[in-house]
Each structure stands twice: as C-alpha cells, then as structure tokens.
Amino acid sequence: MAKSVEQVWENCLKVIKDNISWQAFKTWFEPIKAVSLEEDILTIEVPSQFFYEWLEEHYVELIAKTIKREIGKNGQLEYRILMEGRNRTNPASVRVSGGNQSSTPHSNDYVGMQSQDDFSIKNPFVIPGLKRSQIDPQLNPNYTFDRFVEGECNSLARSAGLAVAQKPGGTSFNPLVVYGASGLGKTHLVHAIGNETRKLHPNRTVLYVSAEKFIHQFMTHARNHEINDFINFYQLIDVLIIDDIHYFAPAIKSQDAFFSIFNHLHQNGKQIILTSDKPPKDLNGMQERLLSRFRWGLSADLQMPDFDTRMAILEHKMRNDGLDLPAEVVKYLAYNVQNNVREMEGALISLLAHSSLVKKDIDLDLAKKVLRNIVKTTSKEVTIDAIQKMVCEYYSITYDKLQAKTRKREIVQARQISMFLAKQFTKNSLKTIGDHFGGRDHTTVIHSCQTVKNLMDTDTLIREQVKELQQKVQLAAI
C-alpha cells in the first residue's frame, strides 16, 4: 500500500530530527507543510524565500539524503514558497532534484525585498537616508564583559550572552531573554553583549532600545501614519536588544508591531535579546503568540549575588577606580547591602564622597555613620538558626544534612563548627544548642567545640574557614 504524503514527510522529519538540534528543528522544519507526492516528487510548502534559501544553504544534503532514503534513488523535492500578498492556492515554486536547484523564483515576485545597504526609510534614531552602518547602536561603552563580575548568580546568563555575541543569530539562544529583579545587572549584561558583538562583527548592525522608547516611537509613527516605516526600520537590524519588555503589557498595538518585527528578524537569522523583571511565563498582559516566541530560545535569570560575588563586585569597582578601602569596610558593605548591586555601588560612592568632603579617612565607624540610612546598622542578636544557615551556605550543604545522624566527615565538621560559633556568639546554654542540632546532648556540644579549637591550632585551612565565618557572624550582628 502506497504511503500518503503526510506519512512520507513524517518519516523524513523523524530522521531529520535525530540529526539536528531541537531548536533548529523547531525553527526550520516544524513550519513546513507537506503538499503532495507525485511520481517520486515530494512537494513541501515553506513560508518565505529566505526560508527556502536557508534550507538549501544549511540542510540541503540532509534533506536530499532523507528524501532518497524514504522515496528511493529517484526521489526529488519541490518547494512551494508563500509570499505576502499572494493567494495561498497560487504560490511561486522552485524544484530541486537531489538538493540541486533547477529554478529560482524571480526576485520581483517577493514583496518588501530591498538592498541591505539601501536605507531610505525613516529612521527613529538618525536622519533618513543614512546607511545601516551609520545607525547609532545606543550602547553604553562602559558596559562590557570585562566589567561584569561573574558569580553563581549570573553565570548562565553571562555565558549565554557571550555565546550570542560570538555568533549572533547562530545559536539556539534566540531570543535570549534575561530576567531578574531591578539592580542585578540585566542592562549591563545586554549592553555588554551588544558591545562585544560590534567588536567581533563590525559589519553587524546592533541596536539597543528600551521598551518605553520603542512604545513612544511607535505612537509617534502611528500618529503620522508611518507605521510601515517604523516596522521596516527595525526589520533591518542584525542584533536587536529591547530592555524591560514587561512595559509592553498595556501597549497592545506596540505588541502587534513587535510581533511583526520579531518574526521577520528570527526568520532571517537575526539575533533578538530581551530583558524583563520576570520570566516569560509570568508576563501578564502579553499576547500569547509573543510569549510562545519568547520561549523559543533561552530564558536566563540573574539572581541576588551571594556574599563572595558582592565582595568581588566591590573589589572590581575599587580596582577600576583606583580606590583602597579597609577590608572590614568592604566586608561591611558586602554583607549588609545584599539585594541590589546598584544600591551597593551607590553606597560605596556615598561613602567616598563623604570621606572626601569631611577630609577623613574611611574606617568602619565612618561607614556605619554615613550609611546608616542605607544599611542596617542596628545591633541585633545572632540566633543559632542564623549561624546554621550561614554555615550551610558557606559549605554548600543543606540544613537537613546538618541535622542528620551521618558520620560523613564534611557534614560532621560543618556541624561542629556551627556548634562552636553558636557557643561563641549566642547566650544559649549547651543543652539549647544541642537541641538545635537534632536533640544532641551537652557533652556532644562540648566535644565539638574542643575539636574545632584543636583543628584551628593544627589545620591552617580550617583556621581560615572558621575565622571567615566568625567575621560573617560579627557583621551579621552589626
């Protein structure tokens, strides 16, 4: 029994899917429709000329081998290319035999095609008539990867951003959506991607724009009946960066325009980079068709930096600005300004400004005085729970493991150090401390404290670790 065209194409897709990445399959093969199968010629329908050209350039051998495997050595492939403004029942078509093109649609058949260097449409950023190479990218040159401190809180987003800059439009991270709370470095990172892209690919047109500016531009062009010019301008960009896309939520018509721009850029292998204060799935008020496209690529979050990363950020800024602050002051800032990198850097600037005005060296007392409205300077009692949490974070173990009856060396050691710190920094009895560690008795606490003291006398690494934890507890009590 002869196979239907749908069965033949489905079998072809199964082979193709096993030989390319999931993202490539989703982008370039899922939109294809099988049309007919006549005399060993399989006809498929593709959305555009660019789609056809991309398949021929990147997947021609794979498609040809798959067709011959499924249909036979005489198997051939015919494309039907849909174009805007044409009736779907009468598309232009090209035929390829074994992957070799035998005819090509005339360029005049395609709507909206123009030279990439012909920039005659109105430009929201520069004077009409300028070439693409003269578009101002709107990037801050100070925001680079060298100045973006990497930590566990941002390593995925930073690595993905660097990959995109090295090969814009050529990775599965398209679009790249960077999300996180305000002040964690989203804008810095996407500017760094743009600057790195321009350095590595000087012929690529990069543009950064905030969602608010995009909406304002759209409204201006809509009032002047120039929406097509607005859309055409953005469709010429090679790497489009839009900051704070959550502001699109109430702007339905702007979403429609961006949907058109997104489709054109993605289909033409251009890179799209977006930032948001929350992941795409939580963006209320956004059209579902846009949200589905945001999920095509990679969504990478920026989390609140841990203590070590905050220290690294402050030290990096001091090094770049030629500053020298006492270690206890830097640790004070890093420990007490936890939720916002921008706020932490602002606290450092405030401290430096005050020191310069009053002509007084910076020390911990001055830091407490100047920054009392920024950081928590009220002395507070340290709890056993707080110490346990601190030790767990320091040694990257869970609270449950600290409580468990295990004899694993790393767990036992962390538990003993926690008891030692609890005895040193709290007013709790030995029995109360033991109760917080799975109901252990006071003799266990005494033994643990003595063991830690002995280790500090003989083991340099343990001594340094305990001292660092002691400083963390002291800073927590400030």
What CATH code is carried by the domain that includes residue 320? 1.10.8.60
* Res 98 pLDDT > 80: no
Domain boundary among 317, 343, 370: 370
**What integer pLDDT is reported at residue 116 of this predicted model?**
32
Same domain as 171, residue 280: yes
pLDDT digits (tens, 9 = 90+) for 460-474: 888 889 888 887 887
* Res 77 pLDDT > 90: no
Cα separation, 296 vs 27, in Å, equals 8
Beta carbons within 10 angstroms of residue 417's beta carbon? 25
Average pLDDT over residues 219-233: 85
Pairing of strands 76-81, 92-97: antiparallel
Same domain as 173, residue 284: yes
What CATH number is attached to the domain comprising 27? 3.30.300.180
How is residue 41 written in tokens? 């010629």
Going by pLDDT thresholds of 50, 70 and 90, the confidence category of residue 113 is: very low
Q: Indicate whether 375 belongs to any domain.
A: no
Residue appearing with tokens 């251009």: 270
Residues 368, 351 contacting (CB under 8 angstroms): no
pLDDT digits (tens, 9 = 90+) for 358-400: 677 777 777 777 777 665 544 456 788 889 998 998 888 888 8
CA–CA–CA angle 279, 285, 287 (5° rounding): 85
Residues 225, 192 contacting (CB under 8 angstroms): no
Q: Indicate whether 344 belongs to any domain.
A: yes
Q: Indicate whether 117 belongs to any domain.
A: no
pLDDT digits (tens, 9 = 90+) for 34-61: 888 888 888 888 877 667 777 877 788 8
* Res 144 pLDDT > 70: yes
Same domain as 194, residue 101: no
Q: Which residue has the higher pLDDT, 102 or 218?
A: 218
Domain boundary among 258, 280, 301: 301
Same domain as 97, residue 144: no
Q: Indicate whether 294 belongs to any domain.
A: yes
- Coil, strand, or helix at residue 177? strand
Give the chain's domain count: 4
Pairing of strands 41-46, 33-38: antiparallel
Give the list of residues 6+ apart from residue 97 with CB closer than 8 angstroms, or none: 76, 77
DSSP class per residue in 442-475 = HHHHHHHHHHHHHHHHH-HHHHHHHHHHHHHHHH
Same domain as 280, residue 140: yes
What percentage of the chain reaches a pLDDT higher than 90? 17
Going by pLDDT thresholds of 50, 70 and 90, the confidence category of residue 167 is: very high
Average pLDDT over residues 305-319: 78
Distances (CA, A) of 463 to 96, 413, 450, 454: 73, 12, 13, 10
Q: Indicate whether 424 belongs to any domain.
A: yes
State the amino acid at position 217 in one-letter form: Q
Going by pLDDT thresholds of 50, 70 and 90, the confidence category of residue 89 is: very low
Same domain as 289, residue 314: no
Cα separation, 273 vs 164, in Å, equals 9
Cα separation, 17 vs 372, in Å, equals 59
State the amino acid at position 37 in one-letter form: L
What CATH number is attached to the domain comprising 439? 1.10.1750.10
Same domain as 263, residue 297: yes
- Coil, strand, or helix at residue 390? helix
Give pTM, 2 decimals: 0.53
> What range defines the domain where residue 359 resides?
307-370
Same domain as 294, residue 184: yes
Average pLDDT over residues 24-36: 84
* Res 310 pLDDT > 90: no
